[in-house]
A and B are shown apart, each in its own frame.
Chain A
Amino acid sequence: KNQVEQSPQSLIILEGKNCTLQCNYTVSPFSNLRWYKQDTGRGPVSLTIMTFSENTKSNGRYTATLDADTKQSSLHITASQLSDSASYICVVSARTGKLIFGQGTTLQVKP
């Protein structure tokens, strides 16, 4: 069964600290993996899209990694800011075109 599992479910960190969010998937055949940021009550916004041949992709303070062998991805946030408080959603695209969404990790950055 195609599944995307994210951990932790929620996370609280202090402003300026780094954090890493995890995404494990069992989607096959794999096409690409996406990370989205969703502010409360807003639409998701794309952070990165990675194919199986890409190990790392950065977008400002956000760095995503992908290990296609172990079917794991992580999103690392450096020097967190209050505006990073949001839900982060991992989405895996199967080669069929189907998108499988994770449940998201809710990040709260405190001053």
Chain B
Amino acid sequence: DSGVTQTPKHLITATGQRVTLRCSPRSGDLSVYWYQQSLDQGLQFLIQYYNGEERAKGNILERFSAQQFPDLHSELNLSSLELGDSALYFCASSVLPGQGGRDTGELFFGEGSRLTVL
């Protein structure tokens, strides 16, 4: 158990809909990262937050948004869903800020949220 909690574990929805994925980082970790992994693909970095502020942005679509709340949990919002958005979405946390010349430290991944868009 990594200590990172993601909900829901599975989600099935229709095209055009909107969903919210939730991540609770390990106790004491201030950084939260979101990754997308499509079938048989590598992990694609979406976005990172550190202590409530956006720290780095990857290949995140405009239809996707995220935020980190004062209690440090994070939510990833996916809207106007398309078939191609079907994937595993992973959250990872670390204690260090990463980016801007600072190391990320060890990353701890959650078990992921599997999104199926029909």
Give me the interface of A with B, judged by CB distance under 8 Å: 31-32, 34, 36, 41-46, 49, 89, 93, 95-99, 101-104
Give me the interface of B with A, judged by CB distance under 8 Å: 2, 4, 41-43, 45, 56, 88, 90, 92, 97-104, 106-112, 114
Asked if residues B88 and A104 are in contact (CB atoms below 8 Å), the reply is no
B93 to chain A, nearest CB (A): 11
Q: Which 4 A-B pairs have the closest CB atoms?
A: A43-B109, A97-B99, A97-B98, A103-B42
Please name all residues of chain A whose beta carbon is closer than 8 Å to the beta carbon of B45 when the two chains form the complex.
99, 101
B108 to chain A, nearest CB (A): 8
Asked if residues B112 and A99 are in contact (CB atoms below 8 Å), the reply is no
The distance in angstroms between the C-alpha atoms of A44 and B97, with both chains bound, is 20
Q: Which one of B2, B88, B103, B110 contacts A32 once the chains associate, using CB atoms below 8 Å? A: B103
- Can you name the residue of chain B whose Cβ is closest to the Cβ of A99? B104
The distance in angstroms between the C-alpha atoms of A97 and B114, with both chains bound, is 28
The distance in angstroms between the C-alpha atoms of A42 and B9, with both chains bound, is 11
Asked if residues B102 and A49 are in contact (CB atoms below 8 Å), the reply is no
| Known contacts A98-B98, A102-B42; 11 further A-B pairs (Cβ under 8 A) | A42-B112, A43-B2, A43-B110, A46-B106, A93-B104, A97-B97, A97-B98, A97-B104, A99-B45, A99-B98, A101-B45
